[in-house]
C-alpha cells in the first residue's frame, strides 16, 4: 500500500529513439497525488526549466539522468514505481505476447486492441529503457504482490476507460484526428482534441493536483505537430496514474510470468470484464 510522500513516474515511451516520450512525476500528499513535473520529452523533463513553446525532439533515454532529476525534485528520493507505455518482458520482445493477446481479447470490443511489437520496434529502444531501470533496482512486475521499486508496463488507451468511465477508446490522438472526424475542418478537429484533453485532465484532477498542462486557448494558431507535445505529456500523466493504482492495489496484471500489462480494475468494470481481487 502507499505511504505519504511516496512517488511514481509515468513514461509514454516512444518505440523509436527519434520520437519524444512524455513523462510525469507524482508524489503522494495526503489523499491526493501532486504532479511535480510533466513534460513532453526526456530532455524537457531533465531541464531545470522548460518552456512549452520550446522545440521538442526525441532522443535515447538516459535513465540515470531521469532518476537524477527525480531525486532533485523529491529531495533525494526516487519513485517507488515507474509505469511505462512500452512492451516490457523478462524475455526478448520480438513478437506478440500473451499480454498483448489477452488485453486485445478483453478490450477489443472497446476498440483498445494492442499493437504488435517486433524485433525492431521497440527493439533496442525498449531494451535500453528496460535495462537502464533494471540496473537501477527496478524489477519488472508481472504478478500481484510484487515489491517496490517496481517497473510496470501499462496501456493508456485501456487505462482511460477506467479513469473517465467510458466504454470505448477515447478520440484524443492528434495524428488520428482525420480518422476520428473525416471531412471535418482542421480547426474544428483541433478544438475537439483540446476538448478531449481538457476532459481527461479534469478526470485526472480527481486524483492528481497541479496536473495543469498549458493547453493552447486558440486552436487556429496551433499546428497538429505542436499539439502533439501536450498529448505525449498527457499520456505520461495517465501512465503515472496507473502507477498510483498499482500502489493502491487497484490494478491487475494481464499476461503471464514473462510480461504483463497492468490495467486498473475500474477499466475492467467499464469494459464489462470479470475481475478478481
Instruction: Give helix 186-204 / helix 156-164 axis angle, nearest 10°.
Output: 70
Please choose, from the candidates 79, 96, 124, the residue with its C-alpha nearest in 3D space to the C-alpha of residue 239. Answer: 79
Cα(113)–Cα(102) distance, integer angstroms: 9
User: H/E/C letters for each residue in 30-88?
Assistant: CCEEEEEEEECCHHHHHCCCCCCCCCCCCCCCCHHHHHHHHHHHHCCCCCCEEEECCCC
Q: What angle do CA 106, 2, 271 make, to 5 degrees?
A: 15
Any idea of the CA torsion for 226, 229, 234, 236, to the nearest 10 degrees? 170
User: How far apart, in whole angstroms, are the C-alpha atoms of residue 242 and residue 196?
Assistant: 19
Q: What is the pLDDT of residues 7-18, one digit of tens each?
A: 999 999 999 999
Residue 269 CB neighbours (<10 A): 15
Packed helices 224-247 and 186-204: angle between N→C axes, nearest 10 degrees:
20
Percent with pLDDT over 90 in the chain: 89
Identify the three-state secondary structure at position 220.
helix
Q: pLDDT tens string for the chain (277 positions)? A: 557 789 999 999 999 999 999 999 999 998 899 999 999 999 999 998 899 999 999 999 999 999 999 999 999 999 999 999 999 999 999 999 999 999 999 999 999 999 999 999 999 999 999 999 999 999 999 999 888 899 999 999 999 999 999 999 999 999 999 999 999 999 999 999 999 999 999 999 999 999 989 999 888 889 999 999 999 999 999 999 999 999 999 999 999 999 999 999 999 987 676 544 3
How much is the pLDDT for 201? 98
Up-side HSE of residue 263: CA atoms within 13 Å toward CB? 31
Q: Report the distance separating Cα 259 and Cα 254, nearest Å.
A: 8
How far is the CA of 254 from the CAs of 84, 113, 152, in angstroms?
15, 13, 11
Q: Tell me: cis bond preceding 149? Omega within 30 of 0 counts.
A: yes
Report how far apart, in Å, the C-alpha atoms of 156 and of each of 56, 63, 188, 261 are: 21, 21, 24, 10
For residue 269, what are the CA distances in angstroms to 110, 128, 159, 165, 263?
A: 12, 34, 11, 9, 11
Cα–Cα distance measured from residue 165 to residue 173, given in angstroms and rounded to the nearest whole number:
18
β-strand pairing of 32-39 with 208-209? parallel
Q: Which residues contact 165 (CB under 8 A, 6 or more apart)?
A: 266, 270
Around 117, how many Cα atoms within 13 Å sit in the side-chain half-sphere? 27
- Please report the pLDDT score of residue 161 as a whole number: 97
Amino acid at each position: 500500500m502507499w505511504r505519504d510522500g511516496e512517488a511514481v513516474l509515468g513514461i509514454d515511451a516512444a518505440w523509436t529513439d527519434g520520437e519524444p516520450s512524455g513523462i510525469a512525476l507524482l508524489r503522494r500528499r495526503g489523499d491526493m497525488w501532486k504532479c511535480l513535473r510533466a513534460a513532453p520529452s526526456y530532455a524537457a523533463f531533465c531541464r531545470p526549466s522548460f518552456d512549452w513553446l520550446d522545440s521538442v525532439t526525441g532522443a535515447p533515454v538516459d535513465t540515470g539522468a531521469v532518476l537524477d532529476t527525480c531525486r532533485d525534485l523529491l529531495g533525494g528520493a526516487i519513485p517507488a514505481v515507474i509505469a511505462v507505455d512500452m512492451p516490457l518482458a523478462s524475455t526478448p520482445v520480438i513478437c506478440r505476447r500473451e499480454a498483448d493477446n489477452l488485453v486485445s481479447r478483453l478490450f477489443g470490443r472497446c476498440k483498445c486492441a494492442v499493437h504488435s511489437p517486433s524485433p525492431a520496434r521497440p527493439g533496442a529502444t525498449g531494451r535500453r529503457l528496460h535495462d537502464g531501470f533494471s540496473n537501477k533496482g527496478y524489477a519488472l512486475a508481472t504478478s500481484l504482490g510484487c515489491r517496490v521499486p517496481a517497473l510496470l508496463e501499462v496501456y493508456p488507451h485501456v487505462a482511460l476507460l477506467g479513469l473517465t468511465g467510458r466504454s470505448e477508446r477515447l478520440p484524443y490522438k492528434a495524428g488520428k484526428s482525420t480518422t476520428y472526424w473525416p471531412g471535418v475542418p482542421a480547426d474544428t478537429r483541433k478544438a475537439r482534441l483540446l476538448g478531449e484533453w481538457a476532459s481527461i485532465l479534469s478526470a485526472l484532477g480527481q486524483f492528481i493536483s497541479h496536473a495543469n498542462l498549458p493547453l493552447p486557448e486558440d486552436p487556429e494558431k496551433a499546428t497538429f505537430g505542436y499539439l502533439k507535445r501536450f498529448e505525449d505529456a498527457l499520456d505520461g500523466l495517465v501512465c503515472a496514474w496507473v502507477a498510483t493504482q498499482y500502489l493502491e492495489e487497484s490494478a491487475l496484471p494481464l499476461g503471464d510470468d514473462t510480461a504483463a500489462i497492468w490495467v486498473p480494475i475500474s477499466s475492467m468494470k467499464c469494459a464489462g470484464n470479470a475481475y478478481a481481487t
